[in-house]
Amino acid sequence: MSSSASSPTRPFSFKSERGRALISRIIQLHVPFQPHDYVLEGIAVLLDGQDLVAITPTGSGKTGYIAYMALVVRELSIHPTKYPEVGSTARKFPQNPLMIVICPTNYLEYQLEEKMAAIGLTILIINEVSRAEAQQEGLPDLWTRAIDDTTISVLLLSPEQLQSDDFAKVIKVDAFLQRLYALGVDEIHLLLTWGKSFRKAFQQIGFVRSRLPDNIVLVALTATMRGGKALQNVCQFLGLRKDEYHLIRRSNQRHDIQLITREVSSPIDGSTFPELQWIFLKCLRLHGTTTEILPLRAIEQIITV
């Protein structure tokens, strides 16, 4: 008998070349392109049960760490026998898998919802605005839906919801906890600023991990996190220990950015700043909007304090 035949089977790892190929294949069932290597790297780490801190530039695909991982976990959960190479030694994925993602602003929540819904994921946003809208429309309470609706793949929360009584009740429901496999935190650099000043609810993000099961992996994302002490403080705040999480850091340098300097003649304590008009016009053109839709007088009102 050959040595290869008598040697034990090597445990499957998503970080392996075969594992990354599988991740890419599943993702391409839903998107018409191959994901970036650094996105596959991060998802593989998470699927193997290790926490991830990803510092990548704006527009580089940070959403993919959340959205694509949700696609892969859902696929493996629904069709476990379709991918025999994963085997029984791989990390176990729950039925009706659910990820919680904490966003700093409502705008980011709705932006993420749009992107993830476009690839077939069901999203539920819970913030003060969405709860008020649901109540006005006579819809069921959103926290009740978060527990009962097993089609939801990603639950997007504002930091304020973490200190609510409703959240405290939900994370005591066994059926809800059994579905959880990951916790995402977007814009983690804000923990150093907002959490210490005007938005104390951000401090709750550092505590929520300890309130969830130990097998929950953490996905921490940002585009502007400084290294050294700043990164160390954020990781400590999130409960990430040195050498126990995977770090992906890509350059933020943008060679396609042109710096334009213009002299401002308006006084700093004035009420109007007409010199800013060109910025708004430029942004409107970039987004396909013209002054026919947004009249120039409306722009003038925007740049008036």
CA geometry: angle at 222 spanning 218 and 227, to 5°? 100
- Sign of torsion over alpha carbons 132, 136, 139, 140: positive
Q: How far apart are CA 2 and CA 119, in angstroms?
A: 47
Q: What value does the mean pLDDT take over residues 51-59?
A: 87
- Quickly state the pLDDT bin for 305 (edges 50, 70, 90): very low
> 85-115 pLDDT, tens per residue?
887 655 578 999 999 999 888 888 998 999 9
pLDDT at 6: 42
Closest CA to 152 of 74, 227, 215, 92: 74
Higher pLDDT, 91 or 259: 259
Alpha-carbon distance of 228 to 205, in angstroms, equals: 21
DSSP classification of residue 22: H
Beta strand extents in 6-128 (DSSP E only): 51-55, 98-102, 123-126
Show the domains of the chain with their CATH numbers. 17-249 (3.40.50.300), 258-305 (no CATH)
SS3 content of the chain, % helix, strand, coil (to 5): 45, 10, 40
Confidence of residue 253 (pLDDT cuts 50, 70, 90): low
Do 205 and 159 meet the contact criterion of CB atoms below 8 Å apart?
A: yes
**Average pLDDT over all residues of the chain:** 82
Higher pLDDT, 79 or 198: 79
Residues 6+ apart with CB under 8 A from 231: 53, 55, 225
Q: Which of 26-35, 209-218, 269-278 has the highest mean pLDDT?
A: 26-35
> pLDDT value at position 256?
58
Residue 293: is its pLDDT beyond 60? Answer: no
Burial class of residue 8, CB neighbours in 10 A (0-12, 13-18, 19+): exposed
Strands, E assignment, the chain? 51-55, 98-102, 123-126, 154-157, 180-185, 217-222, 245-249
**0.85 cut: is pTM over it?**
no
Instruction: Give the integer Cα–Cα distance in Å for 149 and 153.
Output: 10
Residues paired with 221 in a beta bridge: 54
Closest C-alpha to 188, from 253, 118, 109, 102: 102
Span 26-48, mean pLDDT?
A: 95
Say if CB 209 and CB 239 are below 8 A apart.
yes
Contacts of 239 (CB under 8 A, 6+ apart): 206, 209, 210, 218
Q: How far apart are CA 118 and CA 232, in angstroms?
A: 35
Encoded tokens for 245: 């999480």
- Please state at what angle helix 106-117 crosses helix 63-78, rounded to 10 degrees: 50
pLDDT in tens, 135-188: 999 988 999 999 999 999 999 998 889 889 999 999 999 999 999 999 999 988
Distance CA 147, CA 177 (A): 9
